[in-house]
C-alpha cells in the first residue's frame, strides 16, 4: 500500500500535489512568523503622537517605574482619568468610549505589553537611564507613532552589541587614551557581557 | 573537613583573593532545622516534586542538610549538621563538561552560572559535581496545567528568578538576584556595597545565624575574618576545586 502511494507521487499529477502541499506548509509557516511580528491589538488605539508629539508629556509621567526599577509600568485608568476628566474630548470622542466605560465600571484597561522579553531575561530600566540613555534610543521616536510599535527586533545580539560598543576602547568612547579609563572600561565590559548580568 | 582543631588551615581565602563572594557556615551553630531549605525553595522557585517523583530520587533542593555519624556501633556519635549547597568552585568540575556552555563561569562575579535557556539537559554537570549540588527538572513542575494542586499557589513564584522548564539543570546561585538588586541599589545611591548588605535567602532564614555571606576579596568583612580561623575548612579540599563556601566546625 505504501509502495503504491509512493508510485502515485511519482506521477506528474502526484508531483503537482506534493508541490501544492509544500507551498501550503511554507505559506502557513510564513504567516505564523508574520503573526508573531504583528503589533498586538490594544483596548484603545492610544495616540502616542498626540500625547508625546503635540502635548509634550514626558514618557516618565505615564511610565514612572523606569526610573526606579525593572518595569516601567503601563498607566492605570486613574492616571488617564486624572487629565481626561477635565477634557471635553473625553465626552465627545468615540475612541475614548472604552476609557469612560472602564472608569464607570471601575474595571482596568488591559494594555498589551509590546516590548516583551522572555522570562529568563531580567532587564532593569534604572541603570540604563542612569547611564544616560534616552527612551527613544531603544524604543524609537514614539512622537511619530500612534499605537506603539517596536522599532527593531529585540534579541540578545542587539543587547550585546550596545553593551560592547559602549565599553569599547576607541577614539569615540575613550578619547584621552588614559590607561585608568581603559582599565575601568575593560572591567565594565567583562561585567556587561557576563551571562549573569541578565540570565538568572 | 577540618574537624581536627590542630589541623592547619590549608587555604586562606582572603589572602588568595580568589573570587568575590563567599559564604561561611558555622556547623556548631547549625541545629538542622531546615529553615534554609524552605527559604531557598521559596526564594528561587525550586519546585516541590511530589511523592511519586521523590520516590524515584528526583527530589529538588538547592541546599540540603547533611548528617554524618562517627564511630562504630554501639558507640555511635552524630557529627554536627552540615548544610551543603553549590560551593561556587573557583575551578569547577561542572563547567568544562557542558557541551553547550550552559554551565559557565562568571568572570565578573567569580560564580558558577547555570544559563537555563542554553541548557539541553545532558546532566553531565551533575554527574561531575563532587558535592551533588545540582538538581534536574524531570517535569514541568511549576506548570499548573500539569500540577492542578499548584493552582492554589498561582502567585507563589518569585518574579526575580526564572521559572525553569522540564529538562533543565539548576543549582544554587548564591541568590544572584539579590546580589544584582543590592548592586543596583548601591549604584543608585552612589556608594559601595556594605558588608552584610547582600543576604541570601538561606542566611536570612537561619534562626541561629549560622550562615554568613559577603565579599572574600576584602579582608575586613565578616566572611573573610571567619574564614581564617582555625575552625575553618572546605568540603573535599583535596580535589582542588577551591570552593567559596567555608565550614566552621570543631569549636566548643
**How confident is residue A131, by pLDDT bands cut at 50, 70 and 90?**
confident
| CA distance readout (Å), B114 to B3, B45, B98, B135, B215 | 32, 15, 10, 11, 21
pLDDT in tens, A22-69: 999 999 999 998 887 777 888 888 889 999 989 999 999 999 888 887
pLDDT in tens, A66-90: 888 788 888 999 999 999 999 988 8
Do residues B219 and B14 make contact, with C-beta atoms less than 8 angstroms apart? yes
Most A CBs within 10 A among B62, B86, B117, hence the mutation to make, goes to: B117
Dist CA B39 CA B50 (whole Å): 18
pLDDT in tens, B133-187: 999 999 888 887 877 776 666 678 898 999 999 999 999 999 999 999 999 899 8
Query: Does the residue B216 lie in any domain?
Result: yes
- What's the pTM value of the predicted model, to 2 decimals? 0.83
pLDDT in tens, A151-177: 777 889 999 999 988 888 766 666 667
Query: Does the residue B2 lie in any domain?
Result: no
Query: Does the residue B199 lie in any domain?
Result: yes
Q: Do B176 and A200 touch (CB under 8 A)?
A: yes
Chain B 172-191, residues with CB within 8 Å of chain A CB atoms: 173, 176-177, 180, 184, 187-188
Rounded to a whole number of angstroms, the distance from the CA of A20 to the nearest CA of chain B is 36
Cell numbers 525550586 correspond to what residue?
B46
pLDDT at residue A175, rounded to an integer:
65
Q: Do B113 and A119 touch (CB under 8 A)?
A: no
| CA distance readout (Å), B36 to B16, B183, B202, B204, B212 | 29, 23, 4, 8, 12
Most A CBs within 10 A among B102, B107, B110, hence the mutation to make, goes to: B107
pLDDT in tens, B101-143: 999 999 888 899 999 999 999 999 999 999 999 999 998 888 8
What is the SS3 assignment for B60?
A: coil
Query: Does the residue B71 lie in any domain?
Result: yes
Mean pLDDT taken over chain B: 87
> ∠ CA A125-A126-A131 to the nearest 5 degrees?
105
Mean pLDDT taken over chain A: 86
pLDDT in tens, B83-107: 999 999 999 999 999 999 999 999 8
Regarding beta strands B245-248 and B232-233, do their DSSP bridges make them parallel or antiparallel, or are they unpaired? antiparallel
B235 in contact with chain A, both atoms CB, cutoff 8 A = no
Burial of B85 (C-beta count, 10 Å sphere; 0-12/13-18/19+): buried
The reply to whether omega before A167 is within 30° of 0 (cis) is no
pLDDT at residue B4, rounded to an integer:
43
Query: Does the residue B156 lie in any domain?
Result: yes
Beta carbons within 8 Å of A110's beta carbon, 6+ residues apart = A43
Residue B58 lies in domain = 13-248
pLDDT in tens, A92-116: 888 899 999 999 999 998 898 888 8
**Contact residues, chain A, for B95 at CB < 8 Å:** none
Question: Which among B106, B161, B162 is the nearest to A195, CB-wise?
Answer: B106
Q: Return the exposure string of B197-232: e unless at least 16 CB atoms fall within 10 Å of the residue's CB, then b.
A: ebbbbbbebbeeebbbbbbbbeeebebbebbeeebb
pLDDT at B9 over 60: no
pLDDT at residue B129, rounded to an integer:
94
Q: Do A122 and B177 touch (CB under 8 A)?
A: yes
Q: Do A120 and B107 touch (CB under 8 A)?
A: no
| CA distance readout (Å), B18 to B107, B132, B228, B237, B241 | 11, 23, 14, 15, 12
Query: Does the residue B3 lie in any domain?
Result: no
Question: Which among B111, B163, B188 is the nearest to A119, CB-wise?
Answer: B163
> Residue B227 is part of a domain; what is its CATH number?
3.30.70.20
B143 in contact with chain A, both atoms CB, cutoff 8 A = no
Q: What total of structural domains would you count in chain B?
A: 1
Q: Do A200 and B162 touch (CB under 8 A)?
A: yes
pLDDT in tens, B76-85: 888 889 999 9
Total number of residues shown for chain A = 200
Which value does ipTM take for this structure?
Answer: 0.79
What CA dihedral angle connects A10, A13, A14 and A17, to 10 degrees?
150
pLDDT at residue A149, rounded to an integer:
78
**How confident is residue B16, by pLDDT bands cut at 50, 70 and 90?**
very low
Q: How many CB atoms lie within 10 A of CB B88?
A: 28
Q: Do B188 and A126 touch (CB under 8 A)?
A: yes
Per-residue cell: B111: 560564580
Nearest CA in chain A to B161: A200
Query: Does the residue B8 lie in any domain?
Result: no
Rounded to a whole number of angstroms, the distance from the CA of A156 to the nearest CA of chain B is 12
Question: Which among B106, B111, B162 is the nearest to A120, CB-wise?
Answer: B162
Beta carbons within 8 Å of B226's beta carbon, 6+ residues apart = B24, B26, B212, B232, B246, B248
Q: Say how many CA atoms lie within 13 Å of A4 toward its Cβ.
A: 1
Query: Does the residue B5 lie in any domain?
Result: no
Amino acid at each position: 500500500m505504501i509502495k503504491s502511494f509512493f508510485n502515485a507521487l511519482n506521477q506528474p499529477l502526484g508531483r503537482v500535489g506534493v508541490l501544492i502541499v509544500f507551498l501550503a506548509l511554507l505559506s502557513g509557516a510564513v504567516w505564523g512568523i508574520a503573526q508573531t511580528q504583528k503589533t498586538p491589538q490594544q483596548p484603545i488605539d492610544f495616540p502616542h503622537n498626540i500625547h508625546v508629539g503635540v502635548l509634550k508629556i514626558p514618557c516618565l509621567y505615564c511610565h514612572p517605574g523606569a526610573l526606579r526599577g525593572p518595569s516601567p509600568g503601563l498607566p492605570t485608568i486613574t492616571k488617564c482619568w486624572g487629565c481626561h476628566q477635565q477634557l471635553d474630548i473625553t465626552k465627545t470622542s468615540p475612541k475614548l468610549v472604552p476609557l469612560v466605560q472602564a472608569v464607570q465600571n471601575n474595571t482596568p484597561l488591559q494594555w498589551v505589553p509590546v516590548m516583551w522579553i522572555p522570562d529568563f531575561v531580567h532587564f532593569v530600566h534604572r541603570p540604563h537611564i542612569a547611564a544616560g540613555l534616552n527612551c527613544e534610543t531603544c524604543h524609537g521616536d514614539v512622537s511619530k507613532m500612534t499605537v506603539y510599535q517596536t522599532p527593531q527586533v529585540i534579541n540578545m545580539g542587539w543587547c550585546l552589541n550596545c553593551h560592547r560598543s559602549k565599553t569599547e576602547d576607541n577614539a569615540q568612547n575613550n578619547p584621552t587614551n588614559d590607561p585608568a579609563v581603559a582599565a575601568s572600561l575593560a572591567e565594565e565590559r567583562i561585567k556587561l557581557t557576563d551571562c549573569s548580568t541578565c540570565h538568572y | 573537613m577540618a574537624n581536627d582543631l590542630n589541623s592547619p588551615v590549608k587555604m586562606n581565602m582572603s589572602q588568595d583573593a580568589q573570587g568575590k563572594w563567599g559564604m561561611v557556615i558555622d556547623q556548631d551553630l547549625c541545629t538542622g532545622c531546615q529553615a534554609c531549605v524552605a527559604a531557598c525553595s521559596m526564594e528561587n522557585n525550586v519546585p516541590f516534586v511530589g511523592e511519586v517523583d521523590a520516590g524515584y530520587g528526583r527530589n529538588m533542593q538547592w541546599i540540603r542538610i547533611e548528617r554524618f555519624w562517627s564511630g562504630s556501633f554501639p558507640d555511635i556519635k552524630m557529627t554536627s549538621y552540615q548544610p551543603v549547597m553549590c560551593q561556587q568552585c573557583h575551578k569547577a568540575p561542572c563547567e568544562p563538561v557542558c557541551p553547550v556552555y550552559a554551565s559557565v563561569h562568571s568572570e565578573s562575579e567569580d560564580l558558577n552560572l547555570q544559563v537555563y535557556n542554553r541548557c539541553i539537559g545532558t546532566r553531565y554537570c551533575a554527574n561531575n559535581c563532587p558535592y551533588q549540588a545540582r538538581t534536574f527538572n524531570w517535569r514541568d513542575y511549576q506548570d499548573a496545567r500539569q500540577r492542578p494542586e499548584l493552582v492554589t499557589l498561582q502567585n507563589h513564584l518569585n518574579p526575580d528568578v526564572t521559572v525553569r522548564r522540564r529538562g533543565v539543570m539548576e543549582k544554587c546561585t548564591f541568590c544572584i538576584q539579590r546580589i544584582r538588586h543590592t548592586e543596583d541599589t548601591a549604584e543608585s545611591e552612589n556608594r559601595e556595597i556594605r558588608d552584610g548588605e547582600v543576604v541570601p535567602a538561606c542566611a536570612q532564614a537561619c534562626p541561629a545565624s549560622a550562615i554568613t555571606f559577603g565579599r572574600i576579596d576584602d579582608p575586613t568583612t565578616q566572611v573573610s575574618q571567619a574564614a581564617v580561623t582555625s575552625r575553618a575548612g572546605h568540603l573535599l579540599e583535596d580535589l582542588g576545586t577551591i570552593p567559596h563556601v567555608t565550614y566552621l566546625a570543631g569549636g566548643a
